[in-house]
Amino acid sequence: MDLQLCVPCLLGLEGLVSDELKRMKMRDVCAENGRVLFKGGYEEIAKANISLRTGERVLIEMASFHAATFEELFQGVLAIQWGDYIPEDGEFPVKGHCLSSILMSVPSCQSIIKKAAAEKLKSTYGIGWMDESGAKYQIQFTIMKDQVSIYLDTTGPGLYKRGYRLKGNAAPLKETLAAAMVSISRYRGRELFADPFCGSGTIAIEAALKARNRAPGINRLFDACEWGIPQRVWDDARQEAVAAEFHGDYEIIASDIDPKSTQIAKENAIRAGVSDDITFTVADAAEFNPGAARGILVTNPPYGQRIMEASQAEQVYRKFGKAVSSLEDWKLYILSSHTEFERTFGKTADKKRKLYNGMIKCNLFIYL
């Protein structure tokens, strides 16, 4: 089976997702704005879901067509061979979004797509009603500049739902973004790694998973597990992932000024199976002293948006900048949306990389 597969991702992470898929030896990998396309079958669906660190989910692209009217949308969806994927009792909810198109009402588009898919399935199975009592086949759509893309979501809850973070702090960082920051830092587990604003521990945990080469989805299930795909496909993908793991000693330190956050981080690391790799402490980043001549620091300090005021964030940046000013052989990767970060931190970044933390436009300030 040769399917057109699609991995949507946070803006700015397309290159990282593309690199991951190429390392998995996926075929015809092509990065586009906000998504990466590749070809494959059920084996590739299983492997991508289990092993991707920076992608949001794995979709099957069912069709792509132009639609400027609801009738064109209906006919385009009706032409899809839904019965090749969705069984007679399958549940097929619809969700999606529209951008810069004539068809801009998401609820209306949902209704039209649902109706067209139902009509096709009823015709295929020769029935008058779909009871939708079986497995879930989530239909997704995007309409951008009148171009419609229809997908089936193989993942279910997003790939950032690793399963280890049952609790978060006030402004948790998405696991896929944390993994991306670790990848950008080129951390491979050989040097000391530090996060002095660790919050719920996401960056440190993703660093440990990266160092161990542990597939982030190894312990979770996906919607497509209930689609009748042979169990051996999932078993083989998991066994391959386990065989590729590294077994070493890794030195990761993570701290936060808030004792509650630090405790949550410890509990999350235990669930992730990497608590032996990370030392968590309650500490003020203004007094950061790693006790090592070199290392990699990746962190997500407060921006002055979701938590604390902008002026308070600036004070944090000033004090933290002074604390790390003597770390000559450390590489620093600091995420912030604050427009005056470099000025208040006290040093101009060697490089900047635009990233999005949810809907917040940020820069990853890189000091080499």
Query: Is 59 within a domain?
Result: yes
Q: Are residues 139 and 179 in the same domain?
A: no
d(CA 195, CA 13): 21
Query: Is 233 within a domain?
Result: no
**Residue range 315-343: mean pLDDT, rounded:** 93
Check: CB of residue 220 under 8 Å from CB of residue 193: no
**Residue range 322-327: mean pLDDT, rounded:** 91
179: Cβ–Cβ under 8 A, 6 or more apart, which residues? 53, 54, 206, 209, 210, 216
pLDDT tens track for 55-79 = 999 999 999 999 999 999 999 999 9
The answer to whether residue 169 scores a pLDDT higher than 80 is: no
Which pLDDT score is estimated for 297?
98
d(CA 294, CA 194): 11
Which of 260, 289, 281, 303 shows the shortest CA–CA distance to 204? Answer: 281
Average pLDDT, the chain: 94
Q: Are residues 187 and 113 in the same domain?
A: no
- Give the max Cα distance, the chain: 74
Which pLDDT score is estimated for 168?
63
d(CA 110, CA 274): 42
Query: Is 222 within a domain?
Result: no
Which pLDDT score is estimated for 251?
96
Least confident residue range of 107-111, 165-169, 320-324? 165-169
Total domains in the chain come to 2
Q: Are residues 246 and 201 in the same domain?
A: yes
Check: CB of residue 28 under 8 Å from CB of residue 37: yes
Pick the last residue of a domain from 153, 183, 205: 153
Which pLDDT score is estimated for 308?
53
Query: Is 204 within a domain?
Result: yes
pLDDT tens track for 211-241 = 999 999 999 999 999 999 999 999 999 999 9
The answer to whether residue 167 scores a pLDDT higher than 80 is: no
d(CA 112, CA 96): 12
Which pLDDT score is estimated for 360?
87
Which pLDDT score is estimated for 304?
53
Beta strands in the chain (DSSP E): 3-8, 27-32, 35-40, 59-66, 94-99, 138-144, 147-153, 193-195, 252-256, 278-282, 294-299, 329-336, 351-357, 360-367
The answer to whether residue 305 scores a pLDDT higher than 60 is: no
Which pLDDT score is estimated for 63?
97
**Residue range 38-50: mean pLDDT, rounded:** 98
Which pLDDT score is estimated for 346?
94
- Other beta carbons within 10 Å of 133: 9
Which pLDDT score is estimated for 311?
80
The CATH number of whichever domain residue 201 belongs to comes to 3.40.50.150
Query: Is 221 within a domain?
Result: no
Q: How confident is the model at residue 293 (pLDDT cuts 50, 70, 90)?
A: confident
Which domain does 122 fall in, by range? 3-153
The CATH number of whichever domain residue 90 belongs to comes to 3.30.2130.30
**Residue range 5-14: mean pLDDT, rounded:** 95
Check: CB of residue 204 under 8 Å from CB of residue 198: yes
Query: Is 167 within a domain?
Result: no
Query: Is 223 within a domain?
Result: no
- The residue among 142 and 360 whose pLDDT is bigger is 142
Q: Are residues 194 and 300 in the same domain?
A: yes
| Three-class SS state of 179 | helix
